[in-house]
Amino acid sequence: MDPRELILSAIAAREYSYCPYSGFAVGAALLGESGKIYGGCNIESCSYSPTNCAERTALYKAVSEGERRFLALAVVGGKQRGALQETAPCGVCRQMLYEFCPPGMPVFLAVSETDYTKTTLGELLPRGFAPDMLD
């Protein structure tokens, strides 16, 4: 899979970031099994706790529209007016992604459409807690 389109979608989603407190803007793009790309940005709150990360915003958009299986994720981040820097999902996002995504799903941590690190969800969350563990 060529990740450039996914990374460009994450960069575009980052433009909508609402991050007046941290100044750290994040964009994510999640590729559904349907072929649709779901973009998300981080949305901060002055009370911090209700803040939502870009990865969960993209995931929640997708799930709320009926998508349940995913093929890849791209994440970009950095200070609002600064250059992008490699940014990985937080622990909460990794766990939420593990709910819907296979451990082998590629995750692209990008600083541009051609400069990125490819990893997997399983590498980001080894020995993750999966829904089938509750059976």
Average pLDDT along the chain, 135 residues, taken 10 residues at a time: 94 97 97 98 96 98 98 96 92 97 98 97 96 89
Provide the CATH number for the domain around residue 37: 3.40.140.10
Q: Is 41 annotated as a binding residue?
A: no
Active site residues: 55
CA 52, chain centre distance (Å): 11
Contact criterion met (CB below 8 Å) for 75 and 87: yes
**The dihedral formed by the CA atoms of 61, 64, 70 and 75, expressed in degrees to the nearest 10:** 20
pLDDT of the residue at 30 = 98
Confidence at residue 96, expressed as pLDDT on a 0 to 100 scale: 97
Structure tokens at 105: 């799903």
Q: What is the pLDDT of residue 97?
A: 98
What confidence score (pLDDT) does residue 82 get? Answer: 81
Q: Which residue range is the domain that position 22 belongs to?
A: 4-134
Tell whether 9 is in a known binding site. no
Show Cβ contacts of residue 72 under 8 Å, excluding neighbours closer than 6 positions: 1, 3, 6, 30, 31, 105, 106, 107, 108
45 is in an annotated binding site: yes
Q: What is the pLDDT of residue 51?
A: 96
What is the separation, in whole angstroms, between the first and last Cα of the chain? 33
> What total number of domains does the chain contain?
1
